[in-house]
Amino acid sequence: MAMFDQCDQHVTAQYNAAGNIYIQGISEERHERLAAELGVTRSALTSFFNILEQQQVPPEDLYHILRQIATSYKDLQAKLQRFTSDDPAVITLKQQARDAIEIGEFAHAEILLNDASAKDLEAARQLQETAATRLLSAAASRAANGDLKRTQLAYAEAMGYYRQAVDVVESVPTAELELAEYLNAWGFTAHEAGDYAGAQPAQERALAFFQNRFDLSDRLLEKVLETALERRVDAADLYFEHTTTDSVSL
Protein backbone atom coordinates (compact mmCIF):
# COMPACT_ATOMS: atom_id res chain seq x y z
CA MET A 1 0.00 0.00 0.00
CA ALA A 2 1.40 3.42 -0.95
CA MET A 3 0.20 6.57 0.79
CA PHE A 4 -0.04 9.72 -1.33
CA ASP A 5 -0.52 12.00 1.68
CA GLN A 6 -1.46 11.88 5.31
CA CYS A 7 -5.21 11.73 4.69
CA ASP A 8 -7.16 8.49 4.91
CA GLN A 9 -7.58 8.27 1.15
CA HIS A 10 -4.75 6.30 -0.41
CA VAL A 11 -3.74 4.41 -3.49
CA THR A 12 -3.41 0.66 -3.31
CA ALA A 13 -1.11 -1.26 -5.61
CA GLN A 14 -2.29 -4.82 -6.20
CA TYR A 15 -1.58 -7.61 -8.65
CA ASN A 16 -4.13 -8.94 -11.10
CA ALA A 17 -4.52 -12.53 -12.29
CA ALA A 18 -1.78 -12.07 -14.87
CA GLY A 19 0.66 -10.97 -12.20
CA ASN A 20 0.73 -7.36 -13.37
CA ILE A 21 0.51 -4.47 -10.96
CA TYR A 22 -2.46 -2.13 -11.16
CA ILE A 23 -3.56 0.85 -9.13
CA GLN A 24 -6.90 1.25 -7.43
CA GLY A 25 -8.43 3.22 -4.61
CA ILE A 26 -8.56 6.72 -6.14
CA SER A 27 -11.96 8.31 -5.70
CA GLU A 28 -13.21 10.97 -8.09
CA GLU A 29 -12.74 13.62 -5.41
CA ARG A 30 -9.23 12.45 -4.54
CA HIS A 31 -8.35 12.17 -8.23
CA GLU A 32 -9.33 15.79 -8.73
CA ARG A 33 -7.47 16.98 -5.63
CA LEU A 34 -4.34 15.04 -6.61
CA ALA A 35 -4.42 16.52 -10.12
CA ALA A 36 -4.69 20.00 -8.61
CA GLU A 37 -1.86 19.24 -6.18
CA LEU A 38 0.41 18.15 -9.04
CA GLY A 39 -0.74 21.00 -11.29
CA VAL A 40 -1.95 18.77 -14.13
CA THR A 41 -5.25 17.94 -15.77
CA ARG A 42 -7.26 14.93 -14.64
CA SER A 43 -6.76 13.34 -18.06
CA ALA A 44 -3.01 13.75 -17.72
CA LEU A 45 -3.10 12.25 -14.23
CA THR A 46 -4.95 9.23 -15.59
CA SER A 47 -2.17 8.81 -18.14
CA PHE A 48 0.38 9.03 -15.32
CA PHE A 49 -1.36 6.16 -13.53
CA ASN A 50 -1.28 4.15 -16.75
CA ILE A 51 2.46 4.76 -16.97
CA LEU A 52 2.95 3.59 -13.38
CA GLU A 53 1.06 0.40 -14.14
CA GLN A 54 2.81 -0.23 -17.46
CA GLN A 55 6.24 0.27 -15.91
CA GLN A 56 5.37 -1.90 -12.89
CA VAL A 57 6.54 0.71 -10.38
CA PRO A 58 6.89 -0.81 -6.88
CA PRO A 59 4.14 0.31 -4.46
CA GLU A 60 6.58 2.05 -2.13
CA ASP A 61 7.83 4.23 -5.02
CA LEU A 62 4.46 5.21 -6.47
CA TYR A 63 4.16 8.72 -5.06
CA HIS A 64 7.81 9.60 -5.67
CA ILE A 65 7.68 8.43 -9.30
CA LEU A 66 4.29 10.08 -9.81
CA ARG A 67 5.72 13.45 -8.79
CA GLN A 68 8.74 12.81 -11.00
CA ILE A 69 6.46 12.16 -13.99
CA ALA A 70 4.45 15.29 -13.21
CA THR A 71 7.62 17.41 -13.05
CA SER A 72 8.86 16.11 -16.40
CA TYR A 73 5.41 16.64 -17.85
CA LYS A 74 5.29 20.29 -16.78
CA ASP A 75 8.85 20.90 -17.97
CA LEU A 76 7.84 19.60 -21.40
CA GLN A 77 4.78 21.84 -21.42
CA ALA A 78 6.96 24.85 -20.61
CA LYS A 79 9.40 24.02 -23.42
CA LEU A 80 6.59 23.70 -25.93
CA GLN A 81 5.11 26.97 -24.67
CA ARG A 82 8.40 28.77 -25.35
CA PHE A 83 8.81 27.20 -28.79
CA THR A 84 9.03 29.53 -31.78
CA SER A 85 9.35 28.79 -35.49
CA ASP A 86 9.10 30.58 -38.80
CA ASP A 87 7.13 27.67 -40.27
CA PRO A 88 3.36 27.94 -39.62
CA ALA A 89 2.91 24.19 -40.20
CA VAL A 90 5.47 23.35 -37.51
CA ILE A 91 3.89 25.84 -35.12
CA THR A 92 0.49 24.20 -35.68
CA LEU A 93 1.85 20.69 -35.15
CA LYS A 94 3.59 21.63 -31.91
CA GLN A 95 0.49 23.43 -30.66
CA GLN A 96 -1.53 20.30 -31.40
CA ALA A 97 1.11 18.22 -29.61
CA ARG A 98 0.91 20.53 -26.60
CA ASP A 99 -2.88 20.19 -26.57
CA ALA A 100 -2.57 16.40 -26.77
CA ILE A 101 -0.08 16.37 -23.90
CA GLU A 102 -2.40 18.59 -21.87
CA ILE A 103 -5.07 15.88 -21.92
CA GLY A 104 -2.65 12.99 -21.56
CA GLU A 105 -2.76 11.73 -25.16
CA PHE A 106 0.96 11.03 -25.22
CA ALA A 107 0.99 8.60 -28.16
CA HIS A 108 -0.76 11.15 -30.37
CA ALA A 109 1.58 13.90 -29.16
CA GLU A 110 4.57 11.73 -30.10
CA ILE A 111 3.25 11.36 -33.66
CA LEU A 112 2.67 15.11 -33.96
CA LEU A 113 6.15 15.96 -32.67
CA ASN A 114 7.71 13.46 -35.08
CA ASP A 115 5.79 15.12 -37.92
CA ALA A 116 7.07 18.53 -36.81
CA SER A 117 10.62 17.20 -36.67
CA ALA A 118 10.31 15.71 -40.16
CA LYS A 119 9.14 19.05 -41.56
CA ASP A 120 12.04 20.88 -39.93
CA LEU A 121 14.56 18.34 -41.22
CA GLU A 122 13.21 18.61 -44.75
CA ALA A 123 13.33 22.41 -44.58
CA ALA A 124 16.90 22.25 -43.27
CA ARG A 125 17.87 19.91 -46.12
CA GLN A 126 16.43 22.33 -48.67
CA LEU A 127 18.25 25.23 -47.03
CA GLN A 128 21.51 23.27 -47.14
CA GLU A 129 21.03 22.60 -50.84
CA THR A 130 20.33 26.28 -51.48
CA ALA A 131 23.31 27.31 -49.37
CA ALA A 132 25.58 24.87 -51.23
CA THR A 133 24.46 26.25 -54.59
CA ARG A 134 25.13 29.82 -53.49
CA LEU A 135 28.51 28.92 -52.00
CA LEU A 136 29.58 27.20 -55.22
CA SER A 137 28.46 30.24 -57.19
CA ALA A 138 30.42 32.54 -54.87
CA ALA A 139 33.52 30.37 -55.21
CA ALA A 140 33.20 30.33 -59.00
CA SER A 141 33.10 34.14 -59.01
CA ARG A 142 36.26 34.27 -56.90
CA ALA A 143 37.98 31.81 -59.22
CA ALA A 144 36.86 33.85 -62.24
CA ASN A 145 38.57 36.87 -60.70
CA GLY A 146 41.63 34.67 -60.29
CA ASP A 147 41.50 33.90 -64.01
CA LEU A 148 41.07 37.61 -64.70
CA LYS A 149 44.14 38.54 -62.66
CA ARG A 150 46.15 35.69 -64.16
CA THR A 151 45.29 37.01 -67.63
CA GLN A 152 46.80 40.32 -66.52
CA LEU A 153 49.89 38.47 -65.22
CA ALA A 154 48.99 39.64 -61.72
CA TYR A 155 49.89 36.27 -60.25
CA ALA A 156 49.94 37.22 -56.58
CA GLU A 157 46.42 38.64 -56.77
CA ALA A 158 45.26 35.66 -58.82
CA MET A 159 46.60 33.28 -56.17
CA GLY A 160 44.67 35.22 -53.54
CA TYR A 161 41.42 34.76 -55.42
CA TYR A 162 42.02 31.05 -56.00
CA ARG A 163 42.80 30.65 -52.31
CA GLN A 164 39.53 32.38 -51.44
CA ALA A 165 37.65 30.05 -53.81
CA VAL A 166 39.26 27.08 -52.05
CA ASP A 167 38.24 28.43 -48.64
CA VAL A 168 34.62 28.76 -49.77
CA VAL A 169 34.19 25.31 -51.34
CA GLU A 170 35.88 23.56 -48.42
CA SER A 171 32.64 24.17 -46.52
CA VAL A 172 30.65 22.23 -49.15
CA PRO A 173 31.21 18.47 -48.62
CA THR A 174 30.02 17.54 -52.13
CA ALA A 175 32.30 20.02 -53.93
CA GLU A 176 35.37 17.79 -54.18
CA LEU A 177 35.82 18.38 -57.91
CA GLU A 178 35.54 22.16 -57.60
CA LEU A 179 37.97 22.09 -54.69
CA ALA A 180 40.51 20.17 -56.76
CA GLU A 181 40.08 22.60 -59.68
CA TYR A 182 40.74 25.66 -57.54
CA LEU A 183 43.65 24.02 -55.76
CA ASN A 184 45.12 23.12 -59.12
CA ALA A 185 44.69 26.67 -60.42
CA TRP A 186 46.18 28.08 -57.23
CA GLY A 187 49.20 25.79 -57.40
CA PHE A 188 49.75 26.31 -61.12
CA THR A 189 49.58 30.10 -60.75
CA ALA A 190 51.99 30.00 -57.82
CA HIS A 191 54.33 27.96 -59.99
CA GLU A 192 54.04 30.50 -62.80
CA ALA A 193 54.92 33.22 -60.30
CA GLY A 194 58.03 31.29 -59.27
CA ASP A 195 56.63 30.52 -55.82
CA TYR A 196 57.47 26.81 -55.95
CA ALA A 197 57.21 26.30 -52.19
CA GLY A 198 53.76 27.89 -52.19
CA ALA A 199 52.67 25.83 -55.18
CA GLN A 200 53.53 22.43 -53.75
CA PRO A 201 50.85 22.02 -51.01
CA ALA A 202 48.01 23.04 -53.32
CA GLN A 203 49.26 20.89 -56.18
CA GLU A 204 49.73 17.86 -53.93
CA ARG A 205 46.15 18.12 -52.68
CA ALA A 206 44.83 18.48 -56.22
CA LEU A 207 46.98 15.59 -57.42
CA ALA A 208 45.65 13.31 -54.67
CA PHE A 209 42.09 14.03 -55.77
CA PHE A 210 42.72 13.42 -59.47
CA GLN A 211 44.65 10.24 -58.74
CA ASN A 212 41.78 8.85 -56.70
CA ARG A 213 39.04 10.12 -59.00
CA PHE A 214 40.55 8.95 -62.28
CA ASP A 215 42.65 6.05 -60.99
CA LEU A 216 45.95 7.63 -61.98
CA SER A 217 48.91 5.71 -60.60
CA ASP A 218 52.27 7.26 -59.83
CA ARG A 219 53.80 5.10 -62.56
CA LEU A 220 51.36 6.43 -65.15
CA LEU A 221 52.16 10.01 -64.20
CA GLU A 222 55.87 9.26 -64.37
CA LYS A 223 55.44 7.88 -67.89
CA VAL A 224 53.67 11.07 -68.96
CA LEU A 225 56.53 13.15 -67.59
CA GLU A 226 59.11 10.88 -69.20
CA THR A 227 57.39 11.30 -72.55
CA ALA A 228 57.49 15.07 -72.15
CA LEU A 229 61.15 15.05 -71.11
CA GLU A 230 62.09 12.95 -74.14
CA ARG A 231 61.43 16.09 -76.18
CA ARG A 232 64.61 17.50 -74.64
CA VAL A 233 62.92 20.14 -72.54
CA ASP A 234 64.53 21.44 -69.38
CA ALA A 235 61.54 20.70 -67.17
CA ALA A 236 57.97 19.44 -67.32
CA ASP A 237 54.96 19.91 -65.08
CA LEU A 238 51.63 18.13 -64.92
CA TYR A 239 48.54 20.28 -65.17
CA PHE A 240 45.14 18.65 -64.84
CA GLU A 241 42.15 19.85 -66.78
CA HIS A 242 38.82 18.15 -67.21
CA THR A 243 35.69 18.77 -69.22
CA THR A 244 32.16 17.58 -68.58
CA THR A 245 29.89 16.93 -71.52
CA ASP A 246 26.20 16.13 -71.46
CA SER A 247 24.70 14.97 -74.74
CA VAL A 248 21.48 13.46 -75.97
CA SER A 249 21.30 11.34 -79.10
CA LEU A 250 18.23 10.08 -80.90
Mean confidence (pLDDT) of the chain = 79
Q: What is the pLDDT of residues 160-211, one digit of tens each?
A: 999 999 999 988 888 888 888 898 888 889 888 888 888 888 878 877 776 6
| Cβ neighbours for 171, distance < 8 A, ≥ 6 positions apart | 135
Query: What percent of the chain is modeled with pLDDT above 70?
Result: 74
Query: What percent of the chain is modeled with pLDDT above 90?
Result: 26
Of the candidates 99, 31, 38, 116, the one whose C-alpha atom is nearest the C-alpha of residue 74 is 38
How is 1-68 classified by DSSP, letter by letter? -B-SSSSS--BEEEE-TTS-EEEE---HHHHHHHHHHHT--HHHHHHHHHHHHHTT--GGGHHHHHHH
For the chain, what are the domain ranges? 1-82, 127-229
Report the distance separating Cα 13 and Cα 53, nearest Å: 9
Q: What is the CATH number of domain 127-229?
A: 1.25.40.10
Q: Which of 4-13, 20-29, 30-39, 129-138 has the weakest average pLDDT?
A: 4-13
- At 202 the pLDDT is 81
Q: What is the pLDDT of residues 70-98, one digit of tens each?
A: 999 888 888 888 888 888 999 999 999 99
